[in-house]
């Protein structure tokens, strides 16, 4: 691993429009961007800037209207919904502002869920999920339901769920938005650790404090990249 880190994400001339009325609304007007393996990137922008659309496209939840997106060497702009689901499952780990855990399930079951869809055998599933939870300091909270956990603990369960399937990319949408500042700092520390372990971390936020943890900040405005600290 002495070589130049490979490019994981390559966006070229990505345009995304919404046809809500007769006039198409431009969310992205031609975004080109490269993110390399192991980078720690913050995507910043105000509400309506297009950063959420950019995140959805990077996260394979949405498809661009035009332009190409190469993820992990594969062109994914032409993939079907089911293929995108499989790519999300294997390559991307999501962390959300509202944690988005399933409330009827325990922490362990929540973390096991991506492995269920990845068709990992049952025995391995439990081992992997327990390992991920332990790494995040939740070994004593595995059988708790989300509503029995604090906000910071819930976000750590969500991170465990995001990384349990060893994805290339961790995509976090306002991960500290629902947390107090101490807990927020703790969570950001976790992202740092994951980045040091070699994971590509992308954080979408409007908060400069959160973005300051990242090595590279990309500012989005009016559907275009306004500034890239690379």
Partner 1 sequence: MKSLEDISELLAIAWQGILSNRLRSALTVLGIVIGIASVITLLGIGQGAKLEAEKQVQSLGVNLIYVRPGAANLSSISQGQGSAATLTYDDAQAIRETCPAVEDVAAQYNSGFQAQYGEQNTSTSVVATEPSYVDIRNFYPAKGRFFSNTDMKEASRVCVLGETVANNLFGATGENPMRKQVLIRGELFEVIGVMEHKGVTQMMDMDDQIFIPLTTGYATLVGLNAVTGKQVKSILVRAKENEDLQAQFQITNLLRLRHNIQNPDSDDFTLRTQADIMQTAQSITGVFSLLLGATAGISLLVGGIGIMNIMLVSVTERTKEIGIRKAIGAKYSEILAQFVIEAVLMSLTGGILGIGLGVAGASALSQFANWKTDVTPASVVLSFCVSLAIGLFFGIYPARKAARLDPIIALRSE
Instruction: Give me the residues that bind partner 1 (CB under 8 A), please.
Output: 56, 59, 61-62, 81-82, 85-86, 88-90, 94, 96, 100-102, 104-105, 113-114, 116-119, 121-122, 161, 165
Nearer to partner 1, 3 or 103 (CB): 103
Nearer to partner 1, 88 or 219 (CB): 88
Nearer to partner 1, 89 or 200 (CB): 89
Nearer to partner 1, 105 or 178 (CB): 105
Q: For the CB of residue 87, give the shortest distance to partner 1 in the complex, in Å.
A: 8
Residue with tokens 């992990």: 72
Parallel, antiparallel or unpaired: strands 200-205 and 169-173: parallel
Nearer to partner 1, 124 or 226 (CB): 124
Nearer to partner 1, 93 or 213 (CB): 93
Burial class (CB in 10 A: 0-12, 13-18, 19+), 63: middle
Q: For the CB of residue 212, give the shortest distance to partner 1 in the complex, in Å.
A: 27
Q: Whole-angstrom Cα distance, residue 98 to residue 88?
A: 19
DSSP string, 4-50: PPPEEEEEEEEEEEE-SSSSPEEEEEEEEEEEETT-EEEEE--TTSS
- CA dist 119 to 67, 86, 92, 111, 142, Å? 32, 11, 16, 14, 21
Parallel, antiparallel or unpaired: strands 74-75 and 25-36: unpaired
Q: For the CB of residue 101, give the shortest distance to partner 1 in the complex, in Å.
A: 8
Residue with tokens 């031609």: 30
Scanning 60-212, the segments in alpha helix (DSSP H) are: 81-91, 107-117, 122-135, 151-163, 181-196, 208-211
Q: For the CB of residue 109, give the shortest distance to partner 1 in the complex, in Å.
A: 8
């Amino acid at each position: 691993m002495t070589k130049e880190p490979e490019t994981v994400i390559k966006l070229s001339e990505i345009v995304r429009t919404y046809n809500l009325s007769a006039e198409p609304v431009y969310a992205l007007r031609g975004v080109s961007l490269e993110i390399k393996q192991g980078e720690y990137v913050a995507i910043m922008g105000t509400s309506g800037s297009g950063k959420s659309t950019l995140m959805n496209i990077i996260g394979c939840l949405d498809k661009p209207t035009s332009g190409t997106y190469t993820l992990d060497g594969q062109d994914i702009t032409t993939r079907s919904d089911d293929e995108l689901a499989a790519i999300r499952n294997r390559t991307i780990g999501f962390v959300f502002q509202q944690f988005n855990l399933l409330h009827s399930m325990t922490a362990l079951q929540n973390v096991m869920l991506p492995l269920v869809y990845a068709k990992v055998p049952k025995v391995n599933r439990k081992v992997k999920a327990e390992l991920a939870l332990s790494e995040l300091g939740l070994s004593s909270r595995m059988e708790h339901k989300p509503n029995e956990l604090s906000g910071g603990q819930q976000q750590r369960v969500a991170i465990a769920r995001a990384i349990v399937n060893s994805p290339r990319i961790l995509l976090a949408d306002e991960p500290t938005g629902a947390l107090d500042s101490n807990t927020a700092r703790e969570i950001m520390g976790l992202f740092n650790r994951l980045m040091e372990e070699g994971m590509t971390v992308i954080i979408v936020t409007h908060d400069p404090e959160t973005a300051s943890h990242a090595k590279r900040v990309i500012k989005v405005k009016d559907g275009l990249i306004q500034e890239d600290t690379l």
